[in-house]
């Protein structure tokens, strides 16, 4: 079928749930950091299937691990013992500080966060949770209430005991940078004292907001909040669905960049390089909260998912992808910062490792979002063979989160085309 026929099938059978600007590309093949359309046109993939293809499209080691496990055994459920899941739990928890030794496997980030919230509530005996405005934690009904993005889009009750604290976005901070950590931590304290006195179950956060537009928090913010939350009986949950597995470059986990150790960590996306997989890692004591109660997941950590998850961990280590993320990410940020000096439309360049955001504004003083221009640039880059993500509260942020095998040369290619597109858009060429 042609691309037009596929688009028509999509519109007939999916409605308009998946929205896009102009004509979407059709992807038929992938190899490492590149995607190919139906005419074999190559695209540099800087979005990685939304930060999911962590080590490369159809990476041969991942394909090999999945294929050979599929020939042996595809599924058993948790009712029986299977070597893959237990070995995987050991290898995954080895990546965490000593007391975080218990893992439970699910299939997605939403499911992982559902379990984390359940654990916090059952373990503490409390119900109230704190999350951040502009955060994203999933698309199940509970996690939509947790995230600070969905609640205002649906005209439905989505409270579920969640209180949303001010978003500690350094770029759009309402106070000077040096006061930002105290200021935004104080907002969490106000909620603890005002809205949840004595009833706090936990606090859930991303370390760099992903869907929210690569939002970075002030240094020291999470440390202060963790202390407050724990002092008032709550657990701290780090959502590492986007920031985990070496992506931030300097650290394996995003939370480490803020010098904190969570009580519960949730993972998905990059954990399976595109295969549906998610996990919750916590202490054995906290995991006990759901033990011997009715808690079950049919597919979570099935033998194929576990074999693939193990291969992803191996590839990240064998190919030194964490250090590589740091190097390529630093190169990219340096190049983008040079572009920012030349073009007013770039309001901010931020991020860590290979999780980078470029925020486009109409005016650097007012920071008025350049939403239409962002969509145009996104389209122009697509036509030049580069795929980037787009997001942020105002839809004016490019999200760069490629498979971690991307090279410095790929980034040179991207920055060159971004500059050309900006010049074309702003009438400079
Ligand atoms: N947490 C974060 C930080 C995410 O970015 C996402 C997905 N965008 C989720 C949770 C939900 O993951 P999933 O779509 O696999 O349910």
Q: What is the pLDDT of residue 330?
A: 98
At 331, the pLDDT band (50, 70, 90 cuts) reads very high
Among 268, 277, 299, residue to substitute to test ligand 1 (most atoms within 8 Å of Cβ): 268
Of 199, 194, 128, 200, residue with least CA distance to 162: 128
Q: Is the pLDDT confidence value at 391 over 70? A: yes
Ligand 1 geometric centre to CA of 241 (Å): 6
Q: What is the pLDDT of residue 23?
A: 79
Does ipTM surpass 0.85 in this model? yes
Ligand 1 geometric centre to CA of 109 (Å): 5
Q: Is the pLDDT confidence value at 78 over 90? A: no
Ligand 1 geometric centre to CA of 116 (Å): 13
The tens digit of pLDDT for each residue in 297-319 reads 999 999 999 999 999 999 999 99
Which residue owns the Cα nearest ligand 1 atom 13? 109
Between 225 and 98, residue with greater pLDDT: 225
Asked if 378 and 386 touch (Cβ cutoff 8 Å), the reply is no
Which H or E run includes 194? helix 177-194
- Cα of 405 vs its chain's centroid, Å: 18
What is the rounded distance in angstroms from the CA atom of residue 371 to the CA atom of residue 394? 7
- Classify domain 61-318 by CATH architecture: 3-Layer(aba) Sandwich (3.40)
Mean pLDDT throughout 109-123? Answer: 98
Lowest-confidence segment of 2-16, 359-373, 400-414 by average pLDDT: 2-16
**Ligand 1, residues at Cβ distance < 6 Å:** 50, 108-110, 113, 136-139, 206, 210-211, 239, 241-242, 268
Ligand 1 geometric centre to CA of 138 (Å): 5
Buried b (16+ CB within 10 A) or exposed e, 105-122: bbbbbbbbbbbbbbbbbb
Tokens of 121: 């509530």
Whole-number percent of the chain with pLDDT over 70? 99
Tokens of 310: 């193990």
Q: What is the pLDDT of residue 49?
A: 96
The tens digit of pLDDT for each residue in 170-198 reads 999 999 999 999 999 999 999 999 988 89
Q: Give the number of the atom of ligand 1 that is nearest the alpha carbon of residue 278.
A: 15
The tens digit of pLDDT for each residue in 238-261 reads 999 999 999 999 999 999 999 999
Ligand 1 geometric centre to CA of 92 (Å): 19
Tokens of 404: 């971690």
- Cα of 127 vs its chain's centroid, Å: 26
Asked if 66 and 275 touch (Cβ cutoff 8 Å), the reply is yes
Please state, as a whole number, how many other Cβ atoms lie within 10 Å of the Cβ of residue 75. 11
Q: For 362-426, what is the HEC assignment?
A: CCCCCCCECHHHHHHHHHHHHHCCEECEEECCCCCEEEECCCCCCCHHHHHHHHHHHHHHHHHHC
What is the rounded distance in angstroms from the CA atom of residue 14 to the CA atom of residue 11? 6
The tens digit of pLDDT for each residue in 256-271 reads 999 999 999 999 999 9
Which residue owns the Cα nearest ligand 1 atom 1? 137
Q: Is the pLDDT confidence value at 151 over 70? A: no
Which residue owns the Cα nearest ligand 1 atom 12? 109
The tens digit of pLDDT for each residue in 14-59 reads 888 777 777 789 999 999 999 999 999 999 999 999 999 999 999 9
Ligand 1 geometric centre to CA of 425 (Å): 32
At 69, the pLDDT band (50, 70, 90 cuts) reads very high
Angle 408-425/371-383 helices, nearest 10 degrees? 120
Ligand 1 geometric centre to CA of 179 (Å): 30
**What stretch(es) of the chain map to CATH 3.40.640.10?**
61-318
The tens digit of pLDDT for each residue in 365-381 reads 999 999 999 999 999 99
The tens digit of pLDDT for each residue in 318-329 reads 999 999 999 999
Q: Is 44 left (phi over 0), alpha (psi -120 to 50) or beta?
A: beta
Q: Give the number of the atom of ligand 1 that is nearest the alpha carbon of residue 107.
A: 15
- Three-state secondary-structure class, residue 133: strand
Tokens of 347: 């309001």
Whole-number percent of the chain with pLDDT over 90? 88
Classify residue 298 as exposed, middle or buried by CB count within 10 Å of its CB (0-12, 13-18, 19+).
Answer: exposed
**What stretch(es) of the chain map to CATH 3.90.1150.10?**
3-55+321-425
Yes or no: domain 3-55+321-425 corresponds to CATH 3.40.50.300 = no
Asked if 73 and 303 touch (Cβ cutoff 8 Å), the reply is yes
* E-strand stretches of 97-146: 102-106, 128-132
Q: Give the number of the atom of ligand 1 that is nearest the alpha carbon of residue 138.
A: 11
Q: Is the pLDDT confidence value at 121 over 70? A: yes
At 152, the pLDDT band (50, 70, 90 cuts) reads low
Angle 321-342/408-425 helices, nearest 10 degrees? 20
């Amino acid at each position: 079928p042609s691309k037009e026929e596929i688009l028509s099938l999509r519109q007939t059978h999916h409605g308009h749930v998946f929205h896009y600007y102009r004509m979407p590309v059709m992807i038929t093949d992938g190899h490492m950091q590149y995607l190919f359309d139906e005419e074999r046109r190559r695209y540099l993939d800087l979005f990685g299937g939304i930060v999911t293809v962590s080590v490369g499209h159809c990476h041969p080691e991942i394909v090999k691990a999945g294929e050979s496990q599929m020939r042996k055994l595809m599924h058993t459920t948790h009712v029986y013992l299977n070597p893959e899941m237990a070995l995987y739990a050991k290898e995954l928890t080895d990546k965490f500080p000593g007391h975080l030794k218990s893992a439970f496997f699910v299939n997605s980030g939403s499911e992982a966060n559902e379990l984390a919230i359940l654990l916090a509530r059952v373990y503490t005996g409390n119900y109230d949770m704190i999350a951040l405005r502009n955060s994203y934690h999933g698309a199940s009904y509970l996690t939509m209430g947790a995230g600070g993005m969905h609640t205002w889009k649906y005209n439905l009750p989505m409270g579920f005991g969640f209180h949303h604290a001010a978003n500690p976005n350094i770029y759009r901070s309402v106070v000077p940078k040096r006061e930002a950590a105290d200021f935004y931590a104080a907002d969490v304290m106000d909620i603890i004292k005002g809205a949840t006195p004595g009833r706090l179950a936990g606090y859930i956060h991303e370390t760099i907001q992903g869907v929210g537009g690569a939002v970075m928090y002030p240094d020291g913010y999470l440390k202060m909040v963790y202390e407050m939350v724990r002092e008032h009986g709550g657990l701290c949950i780090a959502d590492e669905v986007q920031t985990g597995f070496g992506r931030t470059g300097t650290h394996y986990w995003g939370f480490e960049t803020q010098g904190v150790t969570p009580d519960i960590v949730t993972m998905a996306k990059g954990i399976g390089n595109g295969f549906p997989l998610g996990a919750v890692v916590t202490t054995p004591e906290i995991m006990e909260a759901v033990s011997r109660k009715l808690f079950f997941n049919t597919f979570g950590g099935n033998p194929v998912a576990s074999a693939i998850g193990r291969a992803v961990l191996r590839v990240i280590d064998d190919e030194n992808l964490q250090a590589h993320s740091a190097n390529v990410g630093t190169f990219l940020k340096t190049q983008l910062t040079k572009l920012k000096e030349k073009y007013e439309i770039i309001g901010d360049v931020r991020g860590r490792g290979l999780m980078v955001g470029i925020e486009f504004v109409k005016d650097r003083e007012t920071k008025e979002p350049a939403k239409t221009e962002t969509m145009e640039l996104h389209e122009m880059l697509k036509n030049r063979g580069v795929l980037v993500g787009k997001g942020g509260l105002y839809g004016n942020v490019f999200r760069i989160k490629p498979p971690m095998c991307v090279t410095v040369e790929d980034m040179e290619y991207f920055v060159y085309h971004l500059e050309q597109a900006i010049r074309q858009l702003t009438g400079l060429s």
